[in-house]
Amino acid sequence: MTSRPTIALGNARVGFRGRIHALCVKGASAGLPEPELERRLIELGFVEGASVELLHQGLFGSDPIAVRVAHTTIALRRREAMAILVNAEASA
Amino acid sequence: MNVASNLAPVVALVGNPNCGKTALFNALTGGRQKVANYPGVTVEKKVGRVVTPAGRAVRIVDLPGTYSLRARSPDEEITRDVVLGKLAGEGAPDLIVCVGDASNLRLALRLALELKKVGRPVVLALNMMDIARKRGIEIDTERLTRELGVPVVQSVAVRRGGTDALLGEIDRLLKNLPATSAADWRVPDASALRGGQHEADRVLRAAVKSSDERDRGTAAADAVLLHPVAGLLILLAILFVMFQAVFAWARPLMEVIQQGFAWLGAGVEVSPLPDLLKSFLKDGLISGVGSVVVFLPQIVILFFFILLLEDLGYMARAAFLMDRIMGGAGLHGRAFIPLLSSFACAIPGIMATRVIDDRRDRLTTILVAPLMTCSARIPVYTLIIGAFIPDRDVWGFIGLQGLVMFGLYAAGIAAALAVSFAIKRLVWHGAPGEPFMLELPDYKLPRLRSLAIGLWTRATIFLKRAGTTILAMMVLIWVLASFPQPPEGATGPAISYSLAAMIGSALQPITEPLGFNWQINVALIPGMAAREVAVGALGTIYAIDGGDVADKIGQAIAGQWSLATALALLAWYVFAPQCASTLAVIRRETGSWKWMWVTFAYMLGLAYVAALATYQIARALGGG
């Protein structure tokens, strides 16, 4: 989609804007089996092409994070957000 | 038609969490709703009646919010089973209303597409249209109907007439219901879900015009309320106000209730009934049920705050702010509210654990909830502290009595954190917990009507329980404390001849190392009904009557117990599973006797060790 580098949303900073490039649950050390993690992320709207913006983060370990996905705000931990690969938006 | 075709047709409300589904349910049914439990599980079943404009009686079922029919929690399993007609004794609904927040339709559209596969007619209700319009979101309803392949209506749950279009559509669809078509819903895998969301996004682009702007008010509020530091401080301030309210505002009302029951008891006392019946009515029924009902004001005030913060959309933020802090102890961010509620009473707290999806996280929370210092411990703490802790200041400005009280609260919290940490390590073997994933809804002004209905529901559930389970316990305990009757010419208090006293004496060798005498043992037995009943029981045992009972008991025990005994009893009360109704609720909520006994055993063990250590150390230091 773009030549911008792909990073994991779990590594992004507050203010980051971009689009979801892919979900990659392989090797995610989340508290769920990989397919289940993928399904839950999709149910909350994390699908390829959706716009994301990192709005807020917690005090300890900058965790959890609040992410704007299209028209919805979702709170999740950085550990699970590592499975969401995103491209930074050009204008950001 | 479903099996119950002789009954009114059933319309099921399904929607994402926070879509205003419950407000819509309240608007449709008004006060004509019934809350019960689904058989075998503790998920609440909310059914209401409504008569449509065409005069058709319809039963409306409000189902727990979900993002998909793929069930992940007991609540969501109910939604799935009801929608699919799999629940024993319940047919499939005749009609499914998929409720979507008009200002946030993306996930609702995917759910609507999934619901289409169930094989029942589906209507999409665009709820909260007023808010969507205000935010400049334009929805082409006809286009949406065409693209989705299901009828779409607009609704504003909170406005008069706001549900007319929906009721009209329900009428139209019920008039010529198709035969149940074969359900072709299967548990969707990731690619099916992904396909569904892409399709939903396409429909959204075609039929809805909206800016990507966030709701301005929500963005501004979150800048402060979710600020890493300010947000936590504000949360603490809110909690402080909440506690203040639960304890201070409730007091006058509690006194009125107490006086009411005392008046009833006095009425029984002077009645010409036989003595045994009098005792049963007064000591068994009236004081037993009264001692539980007295907490109604606190429970109502607590739930007022919980429902208010929930309706505002703040609860999800509180979970966000607390997640990491709770996570350190192996608790889920969502466990915050149930544990908080447990400071009023563990019963609503344990009931509130239903918001936690993951079974293990939920069990951990249920297991530690009774360690939070509930309000029933306060009378016992107050009595012992008043009798044994000198009323003086330390460091010039902190009351020593208040400090001890604070210490007891802190001990409960520390124990809860330590136990949940241990459970995570020992029982779940450090398996990573349920991920924290939660929608943060836009803030909304709560509606008084919805709040009132919610409070009414909570209050009736509590009173019903006080009238059934708790009443049965009270009767049992009264029997233990009253039989056998004292022999003719007995001089001691009647309870000292009872089964309770026998149990108390039998326990003597076990409780001796804790410094408990037989009177304390006996008082602990009626105290099983509700902790604070132990105070009254001590009064009975030390044969105190009339006047300001608490003051006199204080004097009596100050003369008879050593300081070490008093401190050991306080330590005991921090941990002991001294509440039969809490245990009954744990049994119900976990659906198993096992977890009830696990809770009972570990709390008893902790209580024993804590009281033993306290007594022995206090004696060694000269407090014996």
Q: Tell me if B106 and A45 make a contact (CB, 8 A cut-off).
A: yes
Q: Tell me if B320 and A66 make a contact (CB, 8 A cut-off).
A: yes
Q: Tell me if B190 and A76 make a contact (CB, 8 A cut-off).
A: no
Q: Tell me if B106 and A70 make a contact (CB, 8 A cut-off).
A: yes
Q: How many CB atoms lie within 10 A of CB B214?
A: 17
Residue A32 has a pLDDT of 75
- pLDDT at A63 > cutoff 90: no
- pLDDT at B550 > cutoff 60: no
Evaluate whether A10 touches A84 at the Cβ level (below 8 Å). yes
Nearest beta carbon to residue B435 from set A35, A45, A77 = A77
Confidence at B590, pLDDT banded by 50, 70, 90: confident
Residue B321 has a pLDDT of 92
Residue B545 has a pLDDT of 47
Tokens representing B285 are 């029924």
Q: Tell me if B437 and A35 make a contact (CB, 8 A cut-off).
A: no
Residue B546 has a pLDDT of 45
CA distance, residue B339 to nearest chain A CA (Å): 20
What would the mean pLDDT of B455-469 be, rounded to a whole number?
Answer: 76
> Pick the residue with more confidence: B539 or B153?
B153
Span of B401-405, B552-556, B564-568 with lowest mean pLDDT: B552-556
Asked if A72 is an interface residue toward chain B (Cβ–Cβ < 8 A), one would say yes
Q: Tell me if B319 and A57 make a contact (CB, 8 A cut-off).
A: no
- pLDDT at A2 > cutoff 80: no
What would the mean pLDDT of B42-61 be, rounded to a whole number?
Answer: 85
Contacts of A26 in chain B (CB under 8 A): none
Residue B6 has a pLDDT of 52
Contacts of B320 in chain A (CB under 8 A): 56, 58, 64, 66, 75
- B247: nearest Cα among B175, B297, B183: B297
Asked if B135 is an interface residue toward chain A (Cβ–Cβ < 8 A), one would say no
Q: Tell me if B432 and A80 make a contact (CB, 8 A cut-off).
A: no
Reduced to 3 states (helix: H, G, I; strand: E, B; else coil), residue B297 is helix
Confidence at B543, pLDDT banded by 50, 70, 90: low
Asked if B105 is an interface residue toward chain A (Cβ–Cβ < 8 A), one would say yes
- C-alpha span between B419 and B417 (Å, rounded): 6
Evaluate whether A57 touches A66 at the Cβ level (below 8 Å). yes
> Pick the residue with more confidence: B529 or B149?
B149
Q: Tell me if A79 and B333 make a contact (CB, 8 A cut-off).
A: no
Span of B92-106, B314-328, B543-557 with lowest mean pLDDT: B543-557
Residue A67 has a pLDDT of 97
Reduced to 3 states (helix: H, G, I; strand: E, B; else coil), residue B271 is coil
User: By percentage, how much of chain B surpasses pLDDT 70?
Assistant: 91
Q: Tell me if A64 and B106 make a contact (CB, 8 A cut-off).
A: no
Contacts of B189 in chain A (CB under 8 A): 35, 39
CB pairs under 8 A between A and B: 126
Confidence at A69, pLDDT banded by 50, 70, 90: very high
Nearest beta carbon to residue B437 from set A57, A71, A80 = A80
pLDDT digits (tens, 9 = 90+) for B378-393: 778 888 888 888 877 7
Ranked by mean pLDDT, the top range of B253-257, B563-567, B574-578 is B563-567
Evaluate whether B389 touches B401 at the Cβ level (below 8 Å). yes
Residue A8 has a pLDDT of 94
Evaluate whether B559 touches B570 at the Cβ level (below 8 Å). no
Residue B4 has a pLDDT of 43
Q: Which domains does chain A have, with CATH numbers?
A: 6-88 (2.30.30.90)
Confidence at B221, pLDDT banded by 50, 70, 90: very high
CA distance, residue A67 to nearest chain B CA (Å): 9
Name the residue in chain A with its Cα closest to that of B195.
Answer: A47
Contacts of B105 in chain A (CB under 8 A): 71
The residue among B437, B439, B444 with the most chain A CBs within 10 A of its CB, best to mutate, is B437
Nearest beta carbon to residue A45 from set B197, B210, B320 = B197
What would the mean pLDDT of A4-8 be, rounded to a whole number?
Answer: 88
Chain length of chain B: 624
Confidence at B547, pLDDT banded by 50, 70, 90: very low
- C-alpha span between B20 and B373 (Å, rounded): 34
| Chain B from 389 to 418: CB within 8 A of any A CB | none
Confidence at A30, pLDDT banded by 50, 70, 90: low
Span of B114-128, B403-417, B420-434, B576-590 with lowest mean pLDDT: B420-434
- C-alpha span between B229 and B206 (Å, rounded): 42
| Chain B from 413 to 432: CB within 8 A of any A CB | 431-432
Confidence at B478, pLDDT banded by 50, 70, 90: confident
Q: Which residues contact B557 (CB under 8 A, 6 or more apart)?
A: B383, B384, B387, B538, B542, B566
- 3-state percent breakdown (helix, strand, coil) of chain B, nearest 5: 60, 10, 30
What would the mean pLDDT of A27-49 be, rounded to a whole number?
Answer: 85
Nearest beta carbon to residue B323 from set A39, A58, A73 = A58
Instruction: Name residue A52's beta-bridge partners.
Output: A18, A69
Sign of CA dihedral B526, B527, B528, B529: positive
- C-alpha span between B22 and B333 (Å, rounded): 23
Reduced to 3 states (helix: H, G, I; strand: E, B; else coil), residue A19 is strand
- C-alpha span between B24 and B164 (Å, rounded): 12
Residue B2 has a pLDDT of 42
Sign of CA dihedral B520, B524, B527, B531: positive
What are the φ/ψ torsions at residue B248 (nearest 5 degrees)?
A: -80, -50
Residue A92 has a pLDDT of 42
What would the mean pLDDT of A47-69 be, rounded to a whole number?
Answer: 93
Asked if A76 is an interface residue toward chain B (Cβ–Cβ < 8 A), one would say yes
Nearest beta carbon to residue A74 from set B325, B358, B439 = B439
- pLDDT at B351 > cutoff 60: yes
Contacts of A38 in chain B (CB under 8 A): 190
- pLDDT at B613 > cutoff 90: yes
> Pick the residue with more confidence: A39 or B536?
A39
Evaluate whether B161 touches B28 at the Cβ level (below 8 Å). no
Q: Which domains does chain B have, with CATH numbers?
A: 10-213 (3.40.50.300), 237-431 (no CATH), 471-620 (no CATH)
Name the residue in chain A with its Cα closest to that of B326.
Answer: A60
Residue B1 has a pLDDT of 39
- C-alpha span between B364 and B304 (Å, rounded): 26
Contacts of A61 in chain B (CB under 8 A): 324
What would the mean pLDDT of B522-539 be, rounded to a whole number?
Answer: 75
Ranked by mean pLDDT, the top range of B30-39, B41-50, B572-581 is B572-581
CA distance, residue A1 to nearest chain B CA (Å): 17
| Chain B from 161 to 200: CB within 8 A of any A CB | 188-190, 193-194, 197-198
Confidence at A44, pLDDT banded by 50, 70, 90: very high
Residue B381 has a pLDDT of 86
Nearest beta carbon to residue B228 from set A35, A39, A59 = A59
Looking only at the bridges linking them, the beta strands covering A84-88 and A17-23 are antiparallel
Contacts of B68 in chain A (CB under 8 A): 39, 43
Predicted TM-score of the model (pTM): 0.80
Nearest beta carbon to residue B436 from set A35, A41, A77 = A77
Contacts of A60 in chain B (CB under 8 A): 324-325
CA distance, residue B14 to nearest chain A CA (Å): 15
Asked if B320 is an interface residue toward chain A (Cβ–Cβ < 8 A), one would say yes
Q: Tell me if A75 and B436 make a contact (CB, 8 A cut-off).
A: yes
Residue B37 has a pLDDT of 62
- pLDDT at A31 > cutoff 70: no
- pLDDT at B371 > cutoff 50: yes
Residue-averaged pLDDT of chain B: 84
- pLDDT at B136 > cutoff 50: yes
What would the mean pLDDT of A53-64 be, rounded to a whole number?
Answer: 92
Nearest beta carbon to residue B434 from set A31, A39, A50 = A31
Residue B38 has a pLDDT of 65
pLDDT digits (tens, 9 = 90+) for B422-444: 988 888 776 666 678 889 999 98
- pLDDT at B30 > cutoff 50: yes
**H-assigned helices in B190-229:** 190-207, 216-225
Q: Tell me if A35 and B190 make a contact (CB, 8 A cut-off).
A: yes
